[in-house]
Each structure stands twice: as structure tokens, then as C-alpha cells.
């Protein structure tokens, strides 16, 4: 599988991650930053199998952040951001390591992968958008 971001991914991801965190702070979403960082860390490695650059976790999250700017009240913008994160294309990817399926909210992909790891893109997101939203706002 070909990815145009391979080779320069780590550097590009760090720049994007730092920009997203700065933008989240500027937007007033500081309480979501710890969950955002967990997602970033848990999805690290998925870019090696994603073929469509639009679905890459870091650029996708950065686009979500950029679309959230506006004059709407903070609560409305934050709800919109959470809805967009909960439906990211990354949640359509499944990973199986020969024993169990990867849970993107609780496991780091790089720690989960083994030599028997299988990746595929499914037709429905997992976990569900409702579960992702609940996870994003709990203890945030």
C-alpha cells in the first residue's frame, strides 16, 4: 500500500499535533486536549495502511479543528468538534492481532500490533460515534 506521507510522517505528525493543540487551546477546548492526545497516540501507526491521504488521522483532526473556528457560542462549536471527531474515517479501520481486535479508545496501535496483525476497512465505525462522544466528554 502506498502512502504519500510515509517517510516524513513522524515530523509532519508532530507539527500537525502541536498546531492542533495550540488551536484547541485558542478555541477554548482545553478540557478536550488530554483526550485528543490519547487519540493521536492510539492511532499512531495507522497511517502505514491508510491509502487515502484524506483519512490520515493527523491531517483529518487538523481539518476538524480548522473548521471549528467561528462566531458560534463555545458550547455549540465544541459539540460540532466532538461530532466530527466521533465520525472520523479512522474509526472504520479494524485491526486484529491473531487474538483480539484493537480498540482505538483504549489501546495504542503500535503496542497492539504483532507479526500476525491484519488491517481492513469496514462499512461501519467501531467504536460507534455515540461511544466515542461519550468517551470524549467523560472526565474531560
d(CA 58, CA 39): 10
- Given a cut of 70, whether residue 14 has pLDDT beyond it is no
> Angle CA(129)–CA(135)–CA(137) in degrees, nearest 5?
105
Question: What dihedral do alpha carbons 23, 16, 67, 40 form, nearest 10°?
Answer: -90
Among residues 42, 47, 38, the alpha carbon closest in space to that of 13 is found at 47
Average pLDDT taken over every residue of the chain: 83
Percent of the chain with pLDDT over 90: 34
Local structure of 15: helix, strand or coil: helix
pLDDT tens for 55-97 read 888 778 878 888 888 888 889 989 999 999 999 999 999 999 8
- Among 11-20, 25-34, 95-104, which is the least confidently predicted range? 11-20
Among residues 36, 29, 137, 11, the alpha carbon closest in space to that of 88 is found at 36
d(CA 90, CA 120): 11
- Residues 6 or more apart whose CB falls under 8 angstroms from that of 25 comprise 33
Q: What is the pLDDT of residue 131?
A: 95
pLDDT tens for 86-120 read 999 999 999 998 889 999 999 999 999 887 889 99
- Taking residues 15-43, what's their average pLDDT? 85
127: preceding bond cis by omega (within 30 degrees): yes
Domain spans of the chain, in order of start: 9-90+129-137
- Taking residues 4-25, what's their average pLDDT? 63
Q: Specify the higher pLDDT residue, 80 or 15.
A: 80
Amino acid at each position: 500500500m502506498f502512502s504519500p506521507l510515509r517517510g516524513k510522517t513522524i515530523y509532519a505528525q508532530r507539527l500537525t499535533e502541536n498546531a492542533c493543540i495550540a488551536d484547541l487551546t485558542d478555541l477554548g477546548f482545553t478540557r478536550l486536549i488530554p483526550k485528543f492526545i490519547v487519540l493521536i497516540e492510539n492511532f499512531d501507526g495507522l497511517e502505514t495502511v491508510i491509502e487515502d491521504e484524506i483519512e490520515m488521522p493527523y491531517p483529518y483532526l487538523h481539518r476538524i479543528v480548522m473548521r471549528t473556528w467561528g462566531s458560534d457560542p463555545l458550547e455549540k462549536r465544541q459539540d460540532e468538534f466532538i461530532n466530527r471527531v466521533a465520525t472520523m474515517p479512522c474509526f472504520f479501520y479494524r485491526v486484529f492481532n491473531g487474538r483480539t481486535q484493537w480498540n482505538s479508545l483504549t489501546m495504542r496501535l503500535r503496542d497492539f500490533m504483532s507479526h500476525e496483525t491484519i488491517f481492513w476497512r469496514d462499512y461501519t465505525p467501531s467504536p460507534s460515534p455515540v461511544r466515542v462522544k461519550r468517551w470524549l466528554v467523560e472526565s474531560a
